[in-house]
Amino acid sequence: MNREDIIKPENLVYRRTPVLTDNVMHYCPGCGHGTAHRLVAEVIEEMGIQEKTIGIAPVGCSVLAYNYFEVDMQEAAHGRAPALATAVKRLKPDFFVFSYQGDGDLAAIGTGETIHACNRGENITMIFINNGIYGMTGGQMAPTTLEDMKTSTSPYGRDTSIMGNPLKITELLAQLPGTCYVTRQAVYTPALVRKCKRAIRQAFENQKENKGVSFVEIVSNCNSGWKMTPTAANQWLEENMLPFYPLGDLKVSK
């Protein structure tokens, strides 16, 4: 078999989706952000909505997400992505609108915007990367940081009597009438990646039916912030994050 035989379209197993740009991502090797980006991009490609999608990037490690998604993107101030998404969707209701946020952005500084966008039932998709830490600023405590977990601002472990409890924001949002689909996924094994992609697809499909907020939490790693190798971080995620943040659908409205 020569090269020409191999590169026939019918032999294609994998290619980079054109909804991601050529830019080299700046994420640390092993970080879950890259995978999450790919899944969102693939869903947009498969639904054929690249030209009708507007994404909102947060402030956090994924601040440069606008360089990676080949769709129109807006860069919000820290925590305010749901506010921008609200306005975009209301002004352009035939567009698919998604926000992409970390835990600090979505569940600390932007809690108000998050809750109110969800409560109003904005017809948008919210992607939430929960890595239990502030990756971008160098590993400080996040609202989702686990009890006893060490970060640079909880150097002896999160003491919940002083620093408050890890926030299950996703459970909270599932209570709100404005959310139609709330699910928690992960992307550290191939099987979970496929499952997560189905969830993201659902979250975008829902926009066609004007059902309200579709919310996909992705429990992710931050090997740099956790100060672990990528493999150790994935193992740590499974053993520590998942018992507290169990995977699965929290709410699926008909």
Partner 1 sequence: MTEEIIIAGFGGQGVLSMGKILAYSGIMQNKEVSWMPSYGPEMRGGTSNVTVIISDERISSPVLSVFDTAIILNQQSMDKFEKSVKPGGMLIYDPNGITRHPERKDINIYQIAATDKATEIGISKLFNMIVLGGFLKYKPIIQEEFMRKGLEKSLPERHHKLIPDNLKAIAIGSEIIKAYHTL
Partner 2 sequence: MKELKLMKGNEAIAEAAIRYGVDGYFGYPITPQSEILEHLMAEEPYKKTGMVVLQAESEVASINMVYGGAACGKRVMTTSSSPGISLMQEGLSYIAGAELPCLVVNVVRGGPGLGTIQPSQADYFQTTKGGGHGDYRLITLAPASVQEMYDFVGLAFELAFKYRNPAMILSDGVIGQVMEKVQIGDYQPRWTDEYIKKSFPWASTGKNPNKPHIIITSLELDSSKQEQVNIRIQNKYKECQANEVRYEMINCDDAEYIFVAYGSSARICQKAIQLGREKGIKVGLLRPITLWPFPSKILGELADKVKGMLSVEMSAGQMVEDVLLATKHKIKVEHFGRFGGIIPTPQEVLHALETKIIGG
Partner from partner 2, ligand SF4, ligand TPP, none binding residue 105, C-beta < 5-8 Å depending on class: ligand TPP
Quote the least distance from Cβ 22 to ligand SF4, whole Å.
19
State the Cα–Cα distance between residues 49 and 2, nearest whole angstrom: 37
> Regarding beta strands 213-219 and 125-130, do their DSSP bridges make them parallel or antiparallel, or are they unpaired?
parallel
Quote the least distance from Cβ 246 to partner 1, whole Å.
32
Contact present, 217 and 130 (Cβ < 8 Å): yes
Look at residues 13, 12, 62 and name the one whose alpha carbon lies nearest to residue 35.
62
Q: E-assigned strands of 76-193?
A: 96-102, 125-130, 133-134, 140-141, 179-186
Q: Which of 20, 31, 85, 169: binder of ligand SF4 (CB under 6 A)? A: 31
Site membership for partner 2, residue 108 (CB under 8 A): yes
Angle of helix 111-120 relative to helix 81-91, nearest 10 degrees, comes to 30
Site membership for ligand TPP, residue 30 (CB under 6 A): no
Candidates 27-35, 86-94, 154-162, 203-211: pick the segment binding ligand SF4 (CB under 6 A).
27-35
Cα dihedral 119/125/128/129 (nearest 10): 180
Residues 76-95 that bind ligand TPP (CB under 6 A): 78
Site membership for Mg ion, residue 102 (CB under 5 A): yes
Candidates 24-32, 78-86, 119-127, 163-171: pick the segment binding ligand SF4 (CB under 6 A).
24-32
String of DSSP letters for 82-103: HHHHHHHHHHSTTSEEEEEEEH
Contacts to ligand TPP by CB under 6 A: 59-62, 78, 102-105, 129, 131, 133-137, 142, 222
| Interface contacts to ligand SF4, rule CB under 6 A | 27-28, 31, 33, 61, 131, 135-136, 222-225
